[in-house]
Structure 1
Amino acid sequence: MKISHQKDDEPIQFVDLAAQRARLGDAIEVAISKVISHQQFIMGPEISQLEHLLAKFSGAKHAITCSSGTDALALLLLGFGIKPGDVVICPTFTFCATAEVIAWFGAIPLFVDVDLNTFNINPTDVQNAIDTAQNNGHKVTGIVSVDLFGRPADYKALEKLAKDNGKWLLCDAAQSFGASYNNRNVGTFGIATATSFFPAKPLGCYGDGGAIFTDDDKLASLVKSLRSHGKGEHKYDNIHIGMAARMDTIQAAILIEKISIFPEEIEKRRRIAEKYNNYFSNLTNVIPPSYHEGSTWAQYTIQVDPQKREAIQKTLRQEGIPTQIYYPIPLHRQKAYRSYPTLRKELPVSDQLAASVISLPIHPYISSKQQEYICQTIKKIVC
């Protein structure tokens, strides 16, 4: 199938960091130069400045920067005192880091399914997993939720479920920092929240970076120690076994500049997502995601006929439209995780999504003309 190419000044990007860079002018270079001048590359003054901005933005009492979203999860599990053999419930339809950190400590990820409409962890499955595991003599210590593609999980149900069952709730918000749920910002749910500043995230740095959010003073103090090798009064006074998990100062300086335009960028993402949804709701062969006004829309993910997905993706690529598949294989089916338990033998929703999802370009700098071209091209392909 050949479709007339879109006419625009720039090719369509899946994530357009260059356009964002142009929007910020020379602010990034100036910020980096300041760090180079003062030479405090580790835990320089920009770290505490960024943490203040992140806490203010989220509404959490404490924001603690670290080296990556994965390390944010690991630091929190260390802070929770996770032990070998502990069972932690998590979704199977997610990036591997969610379960990876659980396995690092000899704990057991117990995989459950997700909701077909939201792509997020299914609270009913979580309750069933707690009951099943404990009936079989296993110690369930906590739950890791994931805000997939920027949409917050069902925290009303999950917080109640965690409280009623005496479990901690750790929120994996690697894709959802900046989102909200029931008039509460991401970063204020559960005992703590972990996020990522990987470059492709809605708020991303120019390398790896992450942060932890919590209102728990004791946990915050512990995590600050753990990210710096478990230090006490000074770096040669080690009171915990910790990690080397500090954010470098240059990344903090970059994020300080980016967070100044972050609210504007989130609003643009939401408008683009709403336009996509309005368009695709009229197509019988495309299932758009259910719209959630509080999402950051880190990804815009549709579902198509699994038998046609590869051909659709190939044609889109030929027409200059980049796409991605998040995620082609649920974790419980991957070699590294096949030995870990699942709630049921089959987790059908995750299998269905893995076979049918396609993520389309969504970022604040897509032009209306580019988005119209994407929509029209998909319509011609699937109809």
Structure 2
Amino acid sequence: MSTSVTAGRDVPVRPSEPVPFLDISGATEDVAAEVRLGWDELLRNGQYVGGTAVTRFEQEWAEYCGTDFAVGVANGTDALHLAMRALGIGPGDEVIVPANTFVATAEAVVLAGAVPRFADVDDSTLLLTPETLKAAVTPATKAVAVVHLYGQLPDMTAISQMCESLGLILIEDAAQAQGATWAGRRAGSFGAVGCFSFYPGKNLGAFGDAGAVVTSDAALNKLMLSIRDHGRMQSADGHHSHGVLGMNSRLDGVQAVVLSAKLRHLDEWNKKRRELMATYRELIDPERAKLVEELADGVGVHHLAVVQVDQRDRVRELLKERGIGTGIHYPVPCHLMGPYAQYADGPLPVTETAAHRQLSLPMFPHLRQDDARRAAEALNAVLTELDR
């Protein structure tokens, strides 16, 4: 009988036990002792908002991403919204957004006062391409929000060149891609800004909501530090001096302690995710199920293990009967959602087709290889059964 580690103990695991879609308890246990020490320090110094722990994490995160600065904020949506405002994006501007993304990408554009221009994606990667980007450009387009969905980067060499040739600001929505690389460069280091969410289920997740923006532009960094703190000026007497219209989106010390502790494990956890994805690629029948592809110059971190299948909802039901947990990302494209349909100007066939076929398989760093194999074999069995 095999075993798994739960709360520091070896616990027998029977083959009939369910395979969860996501379980973050293992990651929590990995950092629990260090987090408790950090929280004890916070109790002594009282720096619950900002302070030493936040500054330390910001420095660590900027260094990890390969940028000069990082600005901790309250969540990933604020990271995008705040960054767009700091970049001067607002009324009269358009921002290209892939329609296959979490709603927060489009939401942040609207919150900044701009208009999202929805673009289609590649059928194999389900990510933005230079061609789909260019097809969405109008004279009012000011920026592109490139989404590194599922923990994988699109062709950032070509997209960066396209943005430069068209005079567009490049924004990276790297909420699902902590540690992913393209041609050796980490997510967040290509654009004017890179925006991250540290929601608990992310590859680098807090114990609540948290986010960050990275940049190598000193002036932009200074402006974002001000905007996140009610527009306060970054000076000795700046507490009562509000130089710009700001917002309240500060990273708190409690979450910074967690993020610093987890960052030390991130590369190891991402390596395990890649090993699990390799198991899926080896075992899943490519004739019946289409795993999202990874481009040659990219090294993904597989926040999600996404496969396209026919009869997706029925497949999910049958997998559940076999004890395999799954998720769906994303069943309604942004351009077809009620609040955003007004910004759509035509069909986006790849995105619309994939929305009915995408299924996310179990994926987290403490998932056992045996359970990944069970999930793959169960998927093959279900698809074979439905083919009869």
Relative to the length of structure 1, the TM-score reads 0.93
**Residue 283 of structure 2 contacts residue 373 of structure 2 at CA under 8 Å; is this kept in 1?**
no
Give 2:3's aligned residue. Answer: none
Once the 2 structures are TM-superposed, how far is the Cα of residue 36 of structure 1 from its aligned partner? 2.3
**Cα distance in 2 for residues equivalent to 1:353 and 1:310:** 13
**Cα distance in 2 for residues equivalent to 1:155 and 1:67:** 27
**Cα distance in 2 for residues equivalent to 1:95 and 1:222:** 27
Asked if residue 94 in structure 1 is aligned to residue 97 in structure 2, the reply is no
**Residue 151 of structure 1 contacts residue 176 of structure 1 at CA under 8 Å; is this kept in 2?**
yes
Once the 2 structures are TM-superposed, how far is the Cα of residue 30 of structure 1 from its aligned partner? 2.2
Moved more, 311-320 or 352-361: 311-320
**Cα distance in 1 for residues equivalent to 2:71 and 2:106:** 22
SS class of match (2:299): coil
**Cα distance in 2 for residues equivalent to 1:9 and 1:19:** 20
1:184-233 deviation digits (Å, cap 9, x = unpaired): 11121111110110001000001111111111111011111111011112
Asked if residue 330 in structure 1 is aligned to residue 333 in structure 2, the reply is yes
Asked if residue 40 in structure 1 is aligned to residue 44 in structure 2, the reply is no
Once the 2 structures are TM-superposed, how far is the Cα of residue 128 of structure 1 from its aligned partner? 2.1
Aligned residues between the structures: 367
Give 1:82's aligned residue. Answer: 89
**Cα distance in 2 for residues equivalent to 1:318 and 1:10:** 12
Give 1:236's aligned residue. Answer: 240
Which of 15, 23, 27 is residue 16 of structure 1 equivalent to?
Answer: 23
Q: What is the CA RMSD across the aligned residues, in angstroms? A: 1.5
**Residue 113 of structure 1 contacts residue 348 of structure 1 at CA under 8 Å; is this kept in 2?**
yes
**Cα distance in 2 for residues equivalent to 1:92 and 1:114:** 8
Give 1:298's aligned residue. Answer: 303
**Cα distance in 2 for residues equivalent to 1:170 and 1:337:** 20
**Cα distance in 1 for residues equivalent to 2:313 and 2:211:** 33
Asked if residue 111 in structure 1 is aligned to residue 118 in structure 2, the reply is yes
Give 1:156's aligned residue. Answer: 157
SS class of match (2:359): strand
**Residue 89 of structure 1 contacts residue 144 of structure 1 at CA under 8 Å; is this kept in 2?**
yes
**Residue 112 of structure 1 contacts residue 122 of structure 1 at CA under 8 Å; is this kept in 2?**
no
**Cα distance in 1 for residues equivalent to 2:352 and 2:259:** 36
**Residue 98 of structure 2 contacts residue 128 of structure 2 at CA under 8 Å; is this kept in 1?**
yes
**Cα distance in 1 for residues equivalent to 2:309 and 2:358:** 6
Give 2:260's aligned residue. Answer: 256
Once the 2 structures are TM-superposed, how far is the Cα of residue 32 of structure 1 from its aligned partner? 2.0
SS class of match (1:41): coil
Structure 2 residue identity aligned to 1:78: R
**Residue 279 of structure 2 contacts residue 373 of structure 2 at CA under 8 Å; is this kept in 1?**
no
Relative to the length of structure 2, the TM-score reads 0.91
Once the 2 structures are TM-superposed, how far is the Cα of residue 144 of structure 1 from its aligned partner? 0.7
SS class of match (1:375): helix
**Cα distance in 2 for residues equivalent to 1:195 and 1:370:** 29
**Cα distance in 2 for residues equivalent to 1:44 and 1:22:** 26
Give 1:3's aligned residue. Answer: none
SS class of match (2:14): coil
Q: CA separation of 1:259/1:215 partners in 2, compared to 1, >3 Å: closer, same or farther?
A: same
Query: What does residue range 1-383 of structure 1 map to in structure 2 within 5 Å?
Result: 7-8=14-15, 11-130=18-137, 133-134=138-139, 139-232=140-233, 233=235, 234-280=238-284, 282-292=285-295, 294-305=299-310, 308-342=311-345, 345-383=346-384
Once the 2 structures are TM-superposed, how far is the Cα of residue 10 of structure 1 from its aligned partner? 6.2
**Cα distance in 1 for residues equivalent to 2:269 and 2:363:** 11
Deviating above 3 A after TM superposition, structure 1's stretches of 4 or more consecutive aligned residues are 8-11
SS class of match (2:239): coil
**Cα distance in 2 for residues equivalent to 1:207 and 1:348:** 36
**Residue 144 of structure 2 contacts residue 170 of structure 2 at CA under 8 Å; is this kept in 1?**
yes
Q: CA separation of 1:9/1:253 partners in 2, compared to 1, >3 Å: closer, same or farther?
A: farther
Once the 2 structures are TM-superposed, how far is the Cα of residue 21 of structure 1 from its aligned partner? 1.9
Q: CA separation of 1:9/1:224 partners in 2, compared to 1, >3 Å: closer, same or farther?
A: farther
Once the 2 structures are TM-superposed, how far is the Cα of residue 311 of structure 1 from its aligned partner? 1.3
Moved more, 7-16 or 30-39: 7-16
1:70-96 deviation digits (Å, cap 9, x = unpaired): 001011111111221211111111011
Once the 2 structures are TM-superposed, how far is the Cα of residue 301 of structure 1 from its aligned partner? 0.2
Structure 2 residue identity aligned to 1:106: G
SS class of match (2:214): strand
**Cα distance in 1 for residues equivalent to 2:154 and 2:286:** 27
Structure 1 residue identity aligned to 2:186: N
**Cα distance in 1 for residues equivalent to 2:294 and 2:130:** 19
1:351-377 deviation digits (Å, cap 9, x = unpaired): 111010100111111112211211111
**Cα distance in 1 for residues equivalent to 2:112 and 2:379:** 44
Once the 2 structures are TM-superposed, how far is the Cα of residue 8 of structure 1 from its aligned partner? 4.4
SS class of match (1:75): helix
Identity of aligned residues (%): 30
What stretches of structure 2 of length at least 5 have no aligned partner? 1-12
